[in-house]
Amino acid sequence: MPFELHSQLAADTRHVTSLALCEVLLMNDARFPWCILVPRLPALRDFDEVPAPRKSEFVSEVDRVSAALRTLTGAYKMNVAALGNMVEQLHVHVIARQRDDDAWPGPVWGVGKALPYDDAAADALIDGLRQTLS
Amino acid sequence: MPFELHSQLAADTRHVTSLALCEVLLMNDARFPWCILVPRLPALRDFDEVPAPRKSEFVSEVDRVSAALRTLTGAYKMNVAALGNMVEQLHVHVIARQRDDDAWPGPVWGVGKALPYDDAAADALIDGLRQTLS
């Protein structure tokens, strides 16, 4: 079975870029600068299931997105997580946190309702991510 | 400044074992089988800050603990996360989730109150982890 992006991830995000291994997506929630990485490999659920030959590439892409998002947003702290209790396809959350954001110091999941970006704000962040990651 | 385990992590956990890079701790919350890995390197806050020469060792230890906890508990899903909004010393949560646990399908942080292990139950899980990881 080839890789196919889970429909819920597609519905909740905008596409940023395709790295060598992972799709990079932007969660459509302007409250938190929040990327999601999805390795284009079939049938992965858990973080430890990425095959050994692709592991360092996988982690390196997570780190690159984390550093890019930190730089672009001036984040106080980066949160990195692979949960997948609701959407089981392996995906890694990379979230830029500020001490005055709507969920601080708790985690962002399940807090209030997503606030969709307006197009200009989403485009600006996506452009910044593409440039920083390229 | 040498490595020193954050006092809050020490207070919330029992010691499981020392791997080559990380201290492995067990959160003292019987509701969720939940390990925490802390690399013994000073001044790390974020997941992407582990120095490149130690990165694969770091991730490999996270994966080993995840696989051990899955095997020992028959977890339905593993959650892996580096948040650190409250305790800034880099630590990675590895949590065995079941579809009938007290937080499912949400994340475990901030849900209710920790239920401390009785000594026998903690010792059994710690012994199992030590044997599986050794």
> pLDDT of B29-83, one tens digit each?
999 999 999 999 999 999 999 999 999 999 999 999 999 999 999 999 999 999 9
- B114/B95 Cα distance (integer angstroms): 14
Record: contact A85-B62, CB cut-off 8 A: no
- A65: nearest CA in chain B? B48
* Residue A132 confidence (pLDDT) above 90: yes
Q: Coil, strand, or helix at residue B53?
A: helix
Q: What are the chain A neighbours of B48 within 8 Å (beta carbons)?
A: 62-63, 66-67, 78, 80
* Residue A1 confidence (pLDDT) above 90: no
pLDDT of residue A28: 98
Neighbours of A100 (CB within 10 A): 7
- B57: nearest CA in chain A? A56
Record: contact A107-B105, CB cut-off 8 A: no
Burial (0-12, 13-18, 19+ Cβ within 10 Å), A57? middle
Which of A48, A66, A85 comes nearest B105 by C-beta?
A85
- B72/B128 Cα distance (integer angstroms): 7
pLDDT of residue A34: 98
Phi-psi region of B43 (alpha: psi -120 to 50; beta: other; left: phi over 0): left
pTM: 0.98
For CA atoms A83, A86, A88, A89, give the dihedral sign. Answer: negative
A58-76: pLDDT as tens digits? 999 999 999 999 999 999 9
Average pLDDT over chain A reads: 97
If you compute the radius of gyration of chain B from its CA atoms, what whole number of angstroms results? 14
Q: What is the mean pLDDT of residues A109-113?
A: 95
pLDDT of residue B2: 87
- B106/B32 Cα distance (integer angstroms): 13
Q: Which residue from A2, A3, A32 is spatially nearest to A13, judged by alpha carbons?
A: A32
Q: What are the chain B neighbours of A45 within 8 Å (beta carbons)?
A: 77
Record: contact A80-B107, CB cut-off 8 A: no
Q: Coil, strand, or helix at residue B78?
A: strand
- A108: nearest CA in chain B? B107
Neighbours of B75 (CB within 10 A): 19
Which of B86, B97, B104 comes nearest A105 by C-beta?
B86
Residues B15 and B5 sit within 8 Å (Cβ to Cβ): no
Residues A82 and B81 sit within 8 Å (Cβ to Cβ): yes
Record: contact A78-B106, CB cut-off 8 A: no
- B48: nearest CA in chain A? A63
B114-126: pLDDT as tens digits? 999 999 999 999 9
For CA atoms B10, B89, B127, B74, give the dihedral sign. Answer: positive
- B36/B23 Cα distance (integer angstroms): 8
Q: What are the chain A neighbours of B105 within 8 Å (beta carbons)?
A: 85-86
Record: contact B109-A107, CB cut-off 8 A: yes
Record: contact A81-B82, CB cut-off 8 A: yes
H-assigned helices in chain B: 7-12, 52-73, 119-133
- A106/A112 Cα distance (integer angstroms): 12
Q: Which residue from A87, A54, A94 is spatially nearest to A70, judged by alpha carbons?
A: A94
